[in-house]
Chains A and B, each alone.
Chain A
Amino acid sequence: MTVTEVRPPVPASPPAGPVRRRARAGERSASASFQVILAAWALVSVLPLIWAVLTALKPNPEVFASPWRLPSRWSFDNFARAWGAASIGQFFLNTVIVVSGALVLTMLLSTMVAYVLARYSFPGNRFIYYLFAGGLMFPVFLALVPLFFVVRNLGLLHSHLGLILVYAAYAMPFSVFFLTAFFRTLPSAVAEAALIDGCSHTGVFFRVMLPMARPGIVSVALFNVLGLWNQYLLPLVLNQGDKSTAVLTEGLASLVAQQGYQSDWSALFAGMVIAMLPVLIVYLVFQRRVRQGFVAGALK
């Protein structure tokens, strides 16, 4: 991804005169100052996160005493309080249920649509493709008010099912768009051979095409996991502040808003750390793939 060196180093240049030596010293100091710039931004990137972890381990009275002092006592019980009393555990569970449900649904439906659009010609193919791809152009805010009433009329406000369906519907434009392009790149000979051998269309999809499309499916799934895990607006509107179905983002944000009354700040920080942890883990495991996937998604 990052090209540091593509060619073997050129043999050392001819004996250096004074001019050349001075130039090299300039190079060295320039490169040192670049290192400083880059390290400074790295610090800016991680400092708030380290501060959050550190604060999550402080006893409550020390939270806003001094940002940089280490905790006088490492208070791991903050995490227990966040998980239980501050309902972060509940939010976490809700998020896991909603995100995994929505992910399975999104991937199943999107691969089906994308496969049919990429592989079969039929009247209306283009129309359906643009119907999905066009969804990328519409801000969610436009649909927000009617969406709320659609979900309410179905009796699905503050329910996991409602969120799963809506998440899946809004994740589809990108997934269909990306996967259609991906299915188009796959060779068709294998599928044709399977059809001639008497495999049904459905069988070809599940047994031949899905396994072949795995790299594309994994990229889209990663993108969706992170995107859905981080959703804030949809649960905010569709949960209506119901604590029993709130997801992490929405739950944490409402905890802050109410903190004034309870002031268990260290538990709040612990909750933040808990919410960031799964993303960090996914990133550490899949990091190159995540970065490449996001960039590829942006350039499509």
Chain B
Amino acid sequence: MHHRKYRFIIGFLVAPLALYVMFVVSPNIQAVIYSFTDWSGYSQTQNFVGLDNYVRLVHDADFWTALTHNAVLLLVLPVVTISLGLLFAFLLNIGGTRRGSVVRGLRASRFYSAVYFFPYLLSVAIIAVLWQQAYNPQGGLVPGALSAVGITPPRDGLLGTPSLALWACVAVAVWQAVGFYVVLFSAGMASIPRDIFEAAALDGVNRATLLFRIVVPLLWDNIQVAFVYLGIIALDFFAIVNIMTPHPESVGNSTEVIAHYLFTRAFSGDTNPQYGYASAIGVALFFLTLTLAAVMFRASRREKVEYA
């Protein structure tokens, strides 16, 4: 009986584990090893050079530029997206007309959340292609809209102007992500007992107080999750940058991010590939991701509210 059980377990685990170890586990381990070598792709040999790649990383101005941009993204992307997501979810579910003490959302809220959500499902790559065209200084959608409201769009386009390019990219990421957080927060708000809102309404609490003093604290868990998810997007941000500004150096590196910097070190084709160095950047990125998750879950640990 037991013999049969173990044969079954092993039989079920062998193939998935083999695939997973081969393509996920082992490359991750190899990357750490490569990060201590001077492997350049043309050389057949890989010499261990200790921490040289990491020392170089610390002194690499381009890396620091990229890191700074990721840090900006890490701050701006979650804050803007979560604020918009909370606002829309609040208006849709709670902020509607009040008659007596009944709390309700606005009309057509289901329609709105369905529409808001759709961009989230599209590939970041397709969205980047779409918005790159929308930003096109010759007849694109965005410059057209800007001049319609009386703002002269920059001559080189938003993506060609160093001081604006990164923000143009951020806008695209926010545009795509907001709908998801509207749905996420709506689900959270739906689980808050109605009596709380009714009690607040009877006490004459206005909407701003309701949002900031009651809804936000009760949704804190969801907001924390949102921060981590958006933080992970901010630490990646590869597809948008790689497609919308294929040559960050042409806008003064103003859109360079770590993931893209790593990619060009290894696969750009026009510079000598630096596999060892790229792997060291990957290790740095991993630790940033880990730190982000740890900090978020530490800093914001609070008492959990259990609804009776």
**Minimum C-beta distance from A144 to chain B (A):** 7
Interface residues of chain A, those whose CB is within 8 Å of chain B, are: 1-7, 9-10, 13, 27-28, 30-31, 34-35, 37-38, 41-42, 44-49, 51-52, 55, 63-68, 109-110, 112-113, 115-116, 120, 122, 128, 131-132, 135, 137-139, 141-148, 150-151, 165-166, 168-170, 172-173, 176, 200-202, 205, 226, 229-233, 237, 248-250, 252-253, 256-257, 265, 268-269, 272, 275-276, 279-280, 282-283, 287, 290-292, 294-295, 298-299
Instruction: Return A140 CB to nearest CB of chain B, in Å.
Output: 8
Query: Which of A28, A135, A146, A150 has the most CB atoms of chain B within a 10 A radius of its CB?
Result: A146
Q: Which of B12, B116, B118, B194 contacts A41 (CB 8 A)?
A: B116
Q: Is the interface of B mostly helix, strand, loop or mixed?
A: helix
Q: Assess the A135–B24 pair: CB atoms within 8 A.
A: yes
Closest to A67 in B: B144
**CB neighbours of A233 from chain B (8 A):** 238-239
A246–B132 CA distance with the chains assembled, in angstroms: 21
Interface assignment of B307: CB less than 8 Å from any CB of chain A: no
In the bound complex, do residue B136 and residue A64 qualify as a contact, i.e. CB atoms below 8 Å apart?
yes
In the complex, chain B residues 77-111 whose Cβ is within 8 Å of any chain A Cβ: 84, 87-88, 91-93, 95-102, 104-107, 109-110
Apart from A41-B88, A109-B15, A295-B184: 20 A-B pairs, beta carbons within 8 A: A2-B190, A31-B106, A48-B134, A66-B144, A138-B24, A141-B263, A142-B282, A143-B24, A144-B262, A148-B267, A165-B19, A169-B22, A169-B24, A172-B16, A172-B24, A252-B129, A253-B242, A275-B123, A275-B126, A287-B114
Contact of B34 among A1, A51, A137, A146 (CB under 8 A): A146
Interface centre among A37, A41, A237, A294 (most CB of B within 10 A): A41
Residues in chain A near residue B124, CB distance under 8 A: 230, 232
B285 and A142 contact, CB distance less than 8 A: yes
- Residues from chain A with a CB closer than 8 A to the CB of B141 are 47-48, 51, 67
* 27 interchain pairs, CB-CB under 8 A: A1-B187, A2-B190, A9-B100, A13-B100, A44-B175, A45-B175, A49-B118, A63-B139, A64-B139, A68-B144, A110-B16, A137-B290, A141-B238, A142-B31, A145-B31, A145-B266, A201-B5, A202-B11, A226-B121, A230-B121, A230-B122, A232-B125, A256-B243, A268-B129, A272-B126, A276-B122, A291-B183
> What is the distance, in angstroms, from A54's C-beta to the closest C-beta of chain B?
10
Q: Are A253 and B128 closer than 8 Å at their CB atoms?
A: yes
Per-residue CB contact flags for chain B residues 8-44 toward chain A (1 = under 8 Å, else 0) read 1101110111011011111110110010000000000
Q: Given contacts A2-B93, A31-B97, A169-B24, are A250 and B175 in contact (CB under 8 A)? A: no
Contacting pair A143 B28 (CB below 8 A): yes
Contact A144 B26 (CB under 8 A): no
CA distance A199 to B290 in the complex (A): 45
Distance, CA A295 to CA B259, complexed state (A): 26
- Chain B residues with CB under 8 Å of A231's CB are 123
The distance in angstroms between the C-alpha atoms of A110 and B175, with both chains bound, is: 33
B120 → chain A closest CB, angstroms: 8
CA distance A257 to B133 in the complex (A): 12
Cβ B190 vs Cβ A3 within 8 A: yes
Query: Mostly helix, strand, loop or mixed at chain A's interface?
Result: helix
Which partner residue on chain A sits nearest B178 by CB separation? Answer: A41
B236 close to chain A: CB less than 8 A: yes
Which residues of A lie under 8 Å from residue B133 when comparing CB positions?
Answer: 52, 55, 256, 265, 268-269
Q: Contact check, A128 vs B27: say whether CB atoms are below 8 A apart.
A: no
**Given A27-B97, A143-B27, A145-B282 in contact, is the A67-B140 Cβ separation under 8 Å?**
yes
Residue picked from B136, B183, B246, B262, most chain A C-beta under 10 Å: B183
Query: Considering the complex of A and B, which 5 residue pairs feature the smallest CB-CB distances, nearest first?
Result: A64-B139, A230-B123, A146-B30, A169-B23, A143-B27
Cβ contact within 8 Å between A298 and B225: yes
Task: Compute how far the CA of A268 lies from the CA of B133 in the bound complex, rounded to whole angstroms.
Answer: 10
Tell me if B113 and A2 are in contact (CB < 8 A). yes
A3-B189, A252-B129 known; A141+B20 contact, CB < 8 A: no
Give the CA-CA distance A24 to B15 in the complex, in Å.
66
A27 to B91, CA, bound (A): 13
Instruction: Tell which of B28, B119, B293 touches A45, judged by Cβ atoms closer than 8 Å.
Output: B119
Which chain A residue lies CB-closest to B184?
A: A295
Across the interface, which residues of A come within 8 angstroms of B279, CB to CB? Answer: 142, 145-146
Give the distance in Å from the alpha carbon of A112 to the alpha carbon of B88 in the complex: 41
- Complex CA distance for A109 and B68, rounded to whole angstroms: 40
C-alpha spacing A55/B136, complex, angstroms? 13
Are B23 and A150 neighbours in the complex by a CB distance under 8 Å?
A: yes
Within 8 Å CB of B13, what residues of A?
Answer: 112-113, 116, 128
CB distance from A195 to the nearest CB of B (A): 10
Least Cβ distance of B140 to chain A in Å?
A: 7
B139–A143 touching, CB < 8 Å? no
Q: A13 to B259, alpha carbons, bound, how many Å?
A: 60
B115: Cβ under 8 A from any A Cβ = yes
Residue of B24, B25, B141, B263 most packed against chain A (CB within 10 A): B24
Is the CB–CB distance between A279 and B187 below 8 Å?
no
User: Which of chain A's residues have a CB closer than 8 A to the CB of B130?
Assistant: 48-49, 52, 272
Chain A residues near B190: list those with CB within 8 A: 1-3
Report yes or no: A45 in contact with B282, Cβ–Cβ below 8 A: no
User: Is B59 an interface position by the 8 A CB rule?
Assistant: no
Cβ-neighbour of B25 out of A38, A131, A139, A287 (below 8 A): A131
Q: Across the interface, do B140 and A64 meet the contact criterion of CB distance under 8 Å?
A: yes
